[in-house]
Chains A and B, each alone.
Chain A
Amino acid sequence: MSQASSGAAIALRGVRKSYGKKTAVRGLALEIPRGELFAFLGPNGAGKTTTIKMIVGLLRPDEGQVHVCGHTIGANGLAAKARLAYVPDLPFLYDKLTGREFLYFVAEMFGVPPAERDRRLGGLLRRLDVGDYLDQLTESYSHGMKQKVVLAAALLHQPEVLVIDEPMVGLDPRTVRSVKELFREHTQHGGAVFMSTHTLEIAEALADRIGIIHKGELIAVGTLDELRARALRQQSLEDIFLQLTEEADG
């Protein structure tokens, strides 16, 4: 564990990743401190999902290192994984388990005692509006219902780092509001949220800092005001995003 990275929830240092001859991410250096909600933006194929998969330990960087809560992914991956939760863009659930069975499985996997599990689940399920269908097999769920259960599973063990790819897709407006509140509370309690999204309004409303990746390179990172200053005082995040990515295209 390096001293420099021990304070950050997520630290990426000089990370490069290639798919054959195509470089998906190059020279990526980024630190997300505890208590921060970081929005990661970029056009399709920019390298967002590759970066996320390296953070959660699914892919190995060709160069550089990734640390989660001070633990190096790869060398000490298990300790890092115990502290993070990952919600992919296509949520995974066991088809032939009910939502409740799946949540119990996740709780036991992360060592949450049954009494504590039930207490936490009660609050999460109420706020995410997960109700009647929890005892049905998950194969019958809509995308939004699956997303709610997966979000509940991710928050159930109170991870220090939450990594989410497109968190709001398929959710109804009431649940979107609840998820925003949950993310905000999570950061207020010292957790970090790393969120990749194309929904710029959500990034604008929620993020403490925003990073923009384009063709595998981090072309801008900062608060919304800092990005505004850099993008010639453009007001909306959409205008900033378009201007910065067009500038990077040259």
Chain B
Amino acid sequence: MVETAATIGAARLGLLFRARWQTSANRLAQAVRESPVRIATAVLLIALIWLGLYYLFRLVFEQLQRTPLEATVAVPLVFNFFFASMLVLLAFSNAIIAHGALFGRSESQYLLTLPVEPLDVVTFKFVECLVLSSWSLVLLGLPMMFAMAVTSEQWICYALFIAFFLAFIPIPGALGLLIAYGVARFFPRRAIRAVTIASIVVLAIVTVTAIRALKLGDSATEVWLRAFLSRMSFVQAALLPNNWVATGIDHAAHAQFDLALLYLGVTAANAFFLSWLAVRVVSGRLDAAYDRATTGRGGVLRGPASASGGFCGWVFCYLPLSVRLVAAKDLRTFLRDPAQWSQLTILFGLLVLYLANMPTLRLEFSASGWFLFIPFLNLCAVSLILATFTCRFVFPLVSLEGQKLWLMGVLPIARERMLWSKFAFSMTVTLTVALGAMTLAAHMLNLSPVWAAIHLLVTVSVCFGLCGFSVGIGARMPMLRETNAARIASGLGGTTNLLASVAMVTVVLTGVGLATWRCRYLPTRELPDLQSLALCVASAATGVGCGIAALWVGARHFNRVEV
């Protein structure tokens, strides 16, 4: 058989996919061989989350089906909002992954030196990005759609809903690919920062729009509901893909399969066309974009990034010089790495927006039982966000020094001092944001000074415990040869740290929760009884004690470790 350019191209594209399949299979086999417990735990937890979401959505849909009139309005709205959110989130998620895959990794450089058509490289990377970025939709979307299929009692709905799901995914994927290409071509300097800032701006606009939609007067009236639906009607615009999917699902649920198939066809055709267009556009100018992305990045730091050097030294002025230098270096790295500060900004930004808009909820906080419950939930939210941050970003800090430990080893600085510097850095960052959020929460809820002080004290204790765990366990179970922070955080040490952190936060918050429960009928401004106070102080002491113990164990091990 005579080989044509097309058959050779197809064979090379197939080879790229087979190589990726082989690496994935090897990765899985290695994980199962080396850490079967971790894999089993992860699968179990994912299954639990999946089942939990499924039953939650099923309850919601069953409740809605009991009142057909409300179901007619609410169900398409639920799907419309869900897929609209997914459209935005997945587009940015795809953009970040596609930029790294096409213009950032050494693999892309390697592929571009091989005799592979740019079209094949982009197609391969596009499919890879779709798979990598769409897991959130699988985790959240499938349980929701299965719950809907069960309540609609039509077996064909399962197949149709999965088809809608698959037809929808390439649309945000193609948009993300085009965004990544645009950033590489036109904003090559600090590209990820550009995408991250754009994501934060979009998220802020969405949040402000949602808040404005909620601020429409008395939330208990029909007028409010009408005004709310009217303001949010742009999400249901006929040209938006989320509307095609939501309408199609709604038709399928009502056994109008011809209409459902029509909307499925519209979604699939648009997804195919948009994917084809994006892949063609990007592959047509891939060499130019790669050239711009690799020759335009880096350079001399100017503006805020440059000024952060002096700022970081000033922040840690209370520390001894040797500890201060390492802590300032970590803070500088944090401020210059959008992956780190953006997550903290997004999580706490959303929390601050929620806190700043608490009056919109029009809850009567002075009513018995509630005036302490909402602040306690705020404390829980802040603690869990802190745990997420410390496990993902503070825990890998010690391991990441592994490559440079020879440098630290020859510097005139005791090893354990390096741990104190990591601790100082993480406490500074977490305390700044957590105390800011909790002070705002106390102010917005007009919390009594005693309870405000208790919550601030517990926040400090949670910060201390979480930072102590992340630094201490990070030093006790380091991965000194690993350079990827995400892999360090998801390793055995990282998983241990996550479980220990969640356990510690649960214990501390249980104590405060019990005290809150005991005081639920007290008048707003009255002091809590001594036993409740003691519970809170003991909880705070637990957090601090855990942190100290973890740091001690970590320092002891780290002083002996051989690099």
Chain A residues near B (Cβ < 8 Å): 17-20, 56-60, 74, 77-79, 81-82, 84, 86, 88, 90, 92, 94-98, 101, 105, 108-111, 137
Contacts and interface: CB of A to CB of B under 8 A. Distances in A.
B293 to A, nearest CB: 11
B109 A20 contact: no
A109 B287 contact: no
B153 interface: no
Given A19-B295, A97-B22, A58 B15 contact: no
A58 B295 contact: no
A56 B494 CA distance: 41
B287 A57 contact: yes
Interface string B281-307: 000000110110011100100000000
B107 interface: yes
A15 to B, nearest CB: 14
A76 B413 CA distance: 56
B117 interface: yes
Given A59-B294, A97-B23, A109-B15, A20 B113 contact: no
Of A59, A60, A109, which is in contact with the most chain B CB atoms at under 10 Å from its CB? A109
A58 B296 CA distance: 14
B115 interface: yes
A105 B116 CA distance: 13
Interface of B: 8, 12, 15, 19, 22-24, 26-27, 30, 106-107, 109-110, 112-117, 287-288, 290-291, 294-296, 299
Nearest to A108: B15
Contact of A109 (B112, B116, B117, B296): B116
Contact of A96 (B26, B110, B291): B26
B287 A92 contact: no
Contact of A81 (B27, B107, B115): B115
Contacts of A84: 113
A136 B30 CA distance: 11
A58 B117 contact: no
A210 B338 CA distance: 44
Contacts of B30: 96, 137
B299 to A, nearest CB: 7
Contacts of A81: 113-115
Contacts of A77: 287
B110 A92 contact: yes
A82 B24 CA distance: 27
Contacts of A105: 15, 19
B26 A97 contact: yes
B112 A96 contact: no
A208 B171 CA distance: 55
A137 B26 contact: yes
30 contacts: A18-B295, A19-B295, A19-B296, A20-B295, A56-B113, A57-B112, A57-B287, A58-B109, A58-B112, A60-B291, A77-B287, A78-B116, A81-B113, A81-B114, A82-B115, A86-B113, A92-B109, A94-B19, A94-B107, A95-B23, A96-B24, A96-B26, A96-B27, A96-B30, A97-B23, A101-B19, A105-B19, A109-B12, A109-B114, A110-B115
A59 B112 CA distance: 10
A215 to B, nearest CB: 17
Contacts of B287: 57, 60, 74, 77
Contacts of B114: 81, 109
Given A18-B295, A96-B30, A109-B15, 9 more contacts: A58-B109, A60-B287, A74-B287, A84-B113, A88-B109, A92-B109, A96-B22, A97-B19, A105-B19
